[in-house]
Amino acid sequence: MSVKAFLYLFSSIVVIWSIDSVNINQIFKKNRIMQAKVFYFLLAISMIQLLTMFLYDLFEATKFV
């Protein structure tokens, strides 16, 4: 398993766990469930990508990889 694949797996678990604790349903309009789900999905994908790239660059800069 490559380092990036492991980082993506780790980042996915951390991001989904952390997003689950946030209650942002109050900012969405009523009966806009599908839009809220799409927002959560895009937010999760973006955060996973950012966290993975940050950790990979950090490890690469400190020569842990």
pTM, to two decimals: 0.82
Neighbours of 52 (CB within 10 A): 20
**By C-alpha distance, which of 55, 59, 42, 65 is closest to 10?**
55
DSSP 8-state code for residue 22 = -
pLDDT tens string 18-43: 998 888 778 888 888 888 889 999 99
Q: How far is Cα 39 from Cα 54, in angstroms, rounded to an integer?
A: 22
For every residue of 42-57, DSSP letters joined together read HHHHHHHHHHHHHHHH
Which structural domain, as residue segments, surrounds residue 42? 3-61
Q: How many distinct structural domains can be found in the chain?
A: 1
Q: pLDDT tens across 37-61, in order?
A: 899 999 999 999 999 999 999 988 9
Angle in degrees, CA 13, 53, 28, rounded to 5: 55
